[in-house]
């Protein structure tokens, strides 16, 4: 692809370890089914100070924060503020880029993310009538408009062009170029989960409740954050029947999951089970 048909829209640099931790902690919360396109994605929300990585499959949600070291310059498109990647492609990032041992480097490993748009020819088949061809005169994604060649009836005219967006990852830690990886960005989806809004709603509810349950699958998802950040999980849930369990890990990760609510009969049974355990322990000899 020639240079005049390719352009960098946005470029930021972050700490490699911070980015990999965020991807590893959030990845388990994305849908594993590609046919669920709205949830089969991780979204990177970009602002001048941080990248917030989010994902949700509808059963749990998570967000991890990555500090920006080199922010986007003033020429970057101010509306290109999120990047969507598939879980499969995020797994490729985790496979290609590794956190180096602290003994191996004296400085922080750096990872550059560039959002690139390339204009690709649109293939017209014999089965497509001129009037049925898509109009690429002004093809848009949220906040970003790309002007392309308009449909031309002349068969010798330049082909129609459509924008294709990529995310280019590059290790920029040292003087010698490191690993690089280019991945296609997912197209936007109208029903993609708004994780920041989802978790913010849970944080706004006050009060707490004593007992709740979480399925083993959801617990496993959050252990990924505990491993990534090397910190304990802290869970809380508001005293509201519709509230979700809010799970935190350190200062850079927060998530939410649907708890299992118990009926009064079930709570009474659980109290009986607890009392039974207390009585059982009375017969266990002390290890002295």
3 state SS of 3: helix
Q: Are 244 and 257 in contact (CB under 8 A)?
A: yes
pTM: 0.76
122: its two tokens: 């649109």
Model pLDDT for residues 79-127, shown as the tens digit of each residue? 577 899 999 999 999 999 987 766 665 678 999 999 998 888 877 655 5
Q: What is the pLDDT of residue 146?
A: 47
Assess contact for 215 and 245: CB atoms under 8 A.
no
| Phi and psi angles of residue 15, each rounded to the nearest 5 degrees, phi first | -75, 130
Tens digits of residue pLDDT in 38-77: 999 999 999 888 999 999 999 999 999 999 999 987 655 6
185-204 average pLDDT score: 89
Indicate the CATH number for domain 3-192: 3.10.150.10
Res 145: pLDDT:
45
Do residues 16 and 180 make contact, with C-beta atoms less than 8 angstroms apart?
A: no
Between 196 and 260, whose confidence is greater?
Answer: 196
Q: What's the rounded Cα separation, in Å, for the pair 257 and 199?
A: 10
- pLDDT in the model for residue 139: 41
pLDDT value of residue 83: 93
pLDDT at 25 over 90: yes
Beta strand pairing call for 42-46 and 50-56: antiparallel
Whole-number pLDDT of residue 281? 59
List CB contacts of 156: < 8 A, sequence separation 6 or more: none
pLDDT of 267 strictly over 50: yes
Alpha-carbon gap, residue 281 to 276, rounded angstroms: 9
Asked whether residue 147 carries a pLDDT value surpassing 70, the answer given is no
What is the structure's pLDDT at 114? 93
pLDDT the model gives residue 263: 79
Domain-wise residue ranges, the chain: 3-192, 197-282
User: What does the pLDDT read at residue 106?
Assistant: 63
Chain-wide mean pLDDT for the chain? Answer: 81
**Cβ 100 vs Cβ 110: under 8 Å:** no
What are 221-244's pLDDT values in tens digits?
999 999 999 999 998 887 777 788
Q: State how far the alpha carbon of 259 is from the alpha carbons of 13, 59, 89, 210, in Å.
A: 37, 9, 30, 12
For residue 103, the tally of other CB atoms under 10 A from its CB is 6
Residues pairing with 209 in the sheet: none
Q: Is the pLDDT of residue 188 over 60?
A: yes
State the Cα–Cα distance between residues 65 and 108, nearest whole angstrom: 17
């Amino acid at each position: 692809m020639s240079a005049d048909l390719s352009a960098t829209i946005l470029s930021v640099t972050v700490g490699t370890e911070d980015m990999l931790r965020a991807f590893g902690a959030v990845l388990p919360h994305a849908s594993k089914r590609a046919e669920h396109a709205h949830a089969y994605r991780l979204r990177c929300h970009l602002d001048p100070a941080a990248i917030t990585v989010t994902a949700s499959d509808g059963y749990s949600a998570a967000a991890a924060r990555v500090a920006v070291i080199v922010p986007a310059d003033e020429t970057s498109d101010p509306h290109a503020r999120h990047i969507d990647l598939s879980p499969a492609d995020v797994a490729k990032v985790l496979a290609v880029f590794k956190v180096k041992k602290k003994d191996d480097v004296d400085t922080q490993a750096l990872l550059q993310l560039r959002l690139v748009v390339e204009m690709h020819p649109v293939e017209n088949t014999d089965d497509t009538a001129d009037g049925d061809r898509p109009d690429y005169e002004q093809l848009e994604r949220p906040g970003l408009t790309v002007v392309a060649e308009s449909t031309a009836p002349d068969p010798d005219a330049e082909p129609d062009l459509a924008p294709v967006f990529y995310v280019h990852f590059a290790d920029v830690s040292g003087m010698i170029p490191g690993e690089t990886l280019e991945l296609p960005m997912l197209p936007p989806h109208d029903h993609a989960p708004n994780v920041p809004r989802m978790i913010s709603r849970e944080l706004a509810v006050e009060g707490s409740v004593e007992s709740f349950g979480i399925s083993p699958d959801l617990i496993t998802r959050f252990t990924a954050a505990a491993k990534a950040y090397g910190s304990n999980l802290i869970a809380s849930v508001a005293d509201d029947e519709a509230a979700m369990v809010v799970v935190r890990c350190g200062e850079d990760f927060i998530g939410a999951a649907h708890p299992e609510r118990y009926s009064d009969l079930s709570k009474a049974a659980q109290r009986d089970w607890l009392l039974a355990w207390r009585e059982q322990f009375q017969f266990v000899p002390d290890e002295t």
